[in-house]
Amino acid sequence: MDGVKINLKVNGQDISREVDSRLLLSDFIRESLYLTGTHIGCEHGVCGACTIHVNGDPVRSCLMLAVQADGCEVKTVESLIQENGKLNYLQQAFSDNHALQCGFCTPGFLMTVSGFLEENSKPSEDEIKKCISGNLCRCTGYSNIIKAVKQAAQTVSN
C-alpha cells in the first residue's frame, strides 16, 4: 500500500522503518519507537507539549509527518539525560525550582529551552518569556519556569 521507507537518526541511533505516509512524527516517536517522553496535547501546534529537535532546531512533532523526517536527525527529551543517568543541568534546574507539577508540559519546555540556551546563553527575562510563550502549562504558572531557565542559563554560561 502506501508504506514509505524512512531512515532517520533518533537520539543518536539509526532507525529504518516503513511508515504510513499520514503518520504524524509525534505518533511515530511515541508508538513506533516507544519514546513516550514526547507528549501530545492539542495536535494542532498550539500547546508545545510535543516539541522535539529536528536537525538541531526545536519544532512541533505534531505538525510534521514521519515521512518528512526522512534523513533527519531527531532528538527527543530522552536525549537530555546524562550518560551516568543523572539529570542534566536543565532538568536539574526545573527540579530545583519546582518548575513542574503534573509534568505533562515539561518535556516540551525542556526541548524548547535547551534549543534556546544553545543560541543564547545569557538571555534577559524578556527573552526568556518570549521563548516559552509557545508552550502552555496549566498547573505551575510560569514564574518558577522562568526561575529555572535563569538558573540553567547561569550554569551554561559559567
Give the interface with other proteins as residue ranges (CB under 8 A): 2, 4, 20-24, 27, 43-45, 48, 51, 54, 57-60, 62-65, 67-68, 112, 115-116, 129-131, 133-134
Q: Which of other proteins, ligand FES, ligand FAD, none sits in contact with 139, Cβ below 5 to 8 A by type?
A: ligand FES
Q: Residues touching ligand FES: how many (CB under 6 A)?
A: 22
CB of residue 112 vs other proteins: minimum separation in angstroms? Answer: 7
Grid coordinates representing 66 are 514521519
Grid coordinates representing 99 are 518548575
Three-class secondary structure of residue 113 per DSSP: helix
Whole-angstrom Cα distance, residue 14 to residue 35?
Answer: 14
Nearest CA to 74 out of 22, 37, 124, 99 is that of 37
Whole-angstrom Cα distance, residue 71 to residue 68?
Answer: 8
CB of residue 146 vs other proteins: minimum separation in angstroms? Answer: 14
Q: Does 42 bind ligand FAD (CB under 6 A)?
A: no
Q: Within positions 54 to 113, which residues make up the interface with ligand FES, using CB under 6 A?
A: 60, 62, 100-105
Q: ∠ at Cα 121 (46, 103), nearest 5°? A: 40
Q: Within positions 30 to 49, which residues make up the interface with ligand FES, using CB under 6 A?
A: 40-43, 45-49
Closest CB to ligand FAD among residues 11, 115: 115
Q: Which of ligand FAD, ligand FES, other proteins, none sits in contact with 112, Cβ below 5 to 8 A by type?
A: other proteins
- Exactly one of 45, 56, 71, 141 binds ligand FAD (CB under 6 A); which one? 45
Whole-angstrom Cα distance, residue 59 to residue 15?
Answer: 20
Whole-angstrom Cα distance, residue 11 to residue 125?
Answer: 30
